[in-house]
Amino acid sequence: MLKKGLLGQLTQTLCCLPGVGPKTAQRMSFHLLQRDRKGAKILANTLIEALDKIGHCQICRTLTEQDVCQICADKAKDSAVVCIVESPADAWIIDQATIFNGHYFVLHGRLSPLDGIGPDELGLDVLEQRMATGGIKELILATNSTVEGEATAYFIGELARKHQVQASRIAHGVPMGGELEFIDSGTLAHAFNGRKNL
């Protein structure tokens, strides 16, 4: 790979993008410098502006350029029903896919004691305070279906129980259109155990 000079440096820094390795980064460098200098200029400036202005919503911790994000500022949304997600992207995708009309709470991660990520790093102290003061009536736990995501959901579920807040976990099972033949055994076992009466 190119290592020398500014071009090599640009290639290396482009590797900070997710899913971009040295080869792709090199292609991007050449493309930007040869074919799209205007776009590259706009990209650099937008990136600087975004880094400067985009912070976390004071209520739900999602990414926003205002103090309070659009969803939290929306009076039509029910602030007593809160959906817990791991990342802003998750909140956004749920907002697109469902008719959920409550607020979100973004953890920015999952409980992972080995990495030093405890409840406070995820803002769970703030969430617990809101539950204690009666600001939340229902929690929907939409953390990922990974070991850490499940552990985080369980932990928050316990917090909710402590403060007599109703908590539910999103369903896990066979995805829509999924054929049983091609589904992994873990998902199938989950779907089987979580069967519902018709």
Residues that bind a second copy (CB under 8 A): 2, 4-7, 9-10, 13-14, 16-19, 24, 26-34, 36-37, 39-51, 53-54, 63-65, 70, 87-89, 92, 108
Strand pairing category for 102-106 and 78-85: parallel
Q: Which lies closer to a second copy via its Cβ, residue 43 or residue 189?
A: 43
Supply the minimum distance, in Å, between the C-beta of residue 42 and a second copy. 5
Least distance between a second copy and beta carbon 167 (Å)? 25
CB of 174 to a second copy, least distance (A): 24
Cα 132-138-144 angle, rounded to 5 deg: 105
d(CA 72, CA 79): 8
Contact 32, 76 (CB under 8 A): no
Nearer to a second copy, 44 or 147 (CB): 44
CB of 155 to a second copy, least distance (A): 21
Phi and psi at 65, nearest 5°, equal -95, -10
Q: Which of 36/158 has CB closer to a second copy? A: 36
Contact 107, 85 (CB under 8 A): yes
